[in-house]
Structure 1
Amino acid sequence: MKNYSFHVGIDISKLKLDVVLIDKRNTKIKEHFVVTNNTKGLERITSLLKKWGIDFKQTLFCFENTGVYTFPLSCFCFEKKYDYWIVPAVEIKRSKGISRGKSDKSDAKDIAFYSIRNIDKLQLSSVPEKAIQQLKLLFTEREKLKKTLLIFKATKENKGFTPTDVYKTVETHNKKTIKFLEASLKVIESKMRDIIKQDLKLKRQFQLIKSIKGVGEKTAIYFIIATKGFNVFASARKLACYAGVAPFEYSSGSSIRGGTKVNHMADKTMKSLLQMCALSAVRHDAQLKAYYLRKQDEGKNKMLVLNNVRCKIIGRIFAVINRDSPFVDTYKFVA
Structure 2
Amino acid sequence: MGITRGKNDKVDSYRIGLYGEEKIARLKPSKPLDQNILTLKQLLSFRKRLVRENAGLSATIKERQHIYETGAKDAVVRIANLKIRANANHISQIEKEIDHLIKSSDSLSKSYRILTSVKGIGPINALMTIAYTENFISFTDPRKYAVYVGVVPFDNSSGTSIKGKKMVSYIANKELKQELNQAAKSAVTHDPELRAYAQRKIENKHYKIVLNNVKFKLILRMFAVIKRGELYTKDFRTVA
Normalised by the length of structure 1, the TM-score is 0.62
Shift of residue 316, structure 1, vs aligned partner: 0.6
Partner of 2:199: 293
Partner of 1:266: 172
1:151 has 2:80 as partner: no
User: Which amino acid in structure 1 is aligned with residue 130 of structure 2?
Assistant: I
Shift of residue 262, structure 1, vs aligned partner: 1.6
Partner of 1:315: 220
Partner of 1:185: 91
Q: Which has the higher helix share?
A: 2
Alignment partner for residue 78 of structure 2, among 162, 172, 179?
Answer: 172
User: Which amino acid in structure 2 is aligned with residue 224 of structure 1?
Assistant: I
Q: 1:290 to 1:148 in 2, by over 3 A?
A: same
1:33-112 maps to which residues of 2 (within 5 A)?
A: none
Q: Secondary structure at the match of 1:330?
A: coil
Q: Secondary structure at the match of 2:31?
A: coil
Q: Which has the higher contact order (CA 8 A, sep 6+)?
A: 2
Shift of residue 238, structure 1, vs aligned partner: 0.9
Partner of 1:326: 231
User: Which amino acid in structure 1 is aligned with residue 55 of structure 2?
Assistant: L
Does the CA-based 8 Å contact 2:64-2:70 persist in structure 1?
no
Cα deviations by residue, 1:89-115 (Å, 9 ceiling, x for unpaired): xxxxxxx99xxxxxxx99999876664
Q: Which moved more, 1:148-157 or 1:256-265?
A: 256-265
Shift of residue 131, structure 1, vs aligned partner: 1.4
1:225 has 2:151 as partner: no
Does the CA-based 8 Å contact 2:148-2:172 persist in structure 1?
yes
Partner of 1:161: 67
Report how many aligned residue pairs link the two structures: 231
d(CA) in 2 for partners of 1:224, 1:109? 42
Normalised by the length of structure 2, the TM-score is 0.85
Does the CA-based 8 Å contact 1:248-1:262 persist in structure 2?
yes
Shift of residue 327, structure 1, vs aligned partner: 1.1
Alignment partner for residue 245 of structure 1, among 122, 132, 151?
Answer: 151
Compute the RMSD of aligned alpha carbons: 3.0
Shift of residue 280, structure 1, vs aligned partner: 0.9
1:204 has 2:110 as partner: yes
d(CA) in 2 for partners of 1:224, 1:305? 25
Cα deviations by residue, 1:264-308 (Å, 9 ceiling, x for unpaired): 1211111111111111111111111111101122x1222112111
User: Which amino acid in structure 1 is aligned with residue 211 of structure 2?
Assistant: L
The structure with the largest alpha-carbon Rg is: 1
Q: 1:235 to 1:112 in 2, by over 3 A?
A: farther
Partner of 1:122: 27
Question: Identity percentage over the alignment?
Answer: 34
Q: Which runs of 5+ in 1 are unaligned?
A: 1-95, 98-104
Q: Which runs of 5+ in 2 are unaligned?
A: 3-9
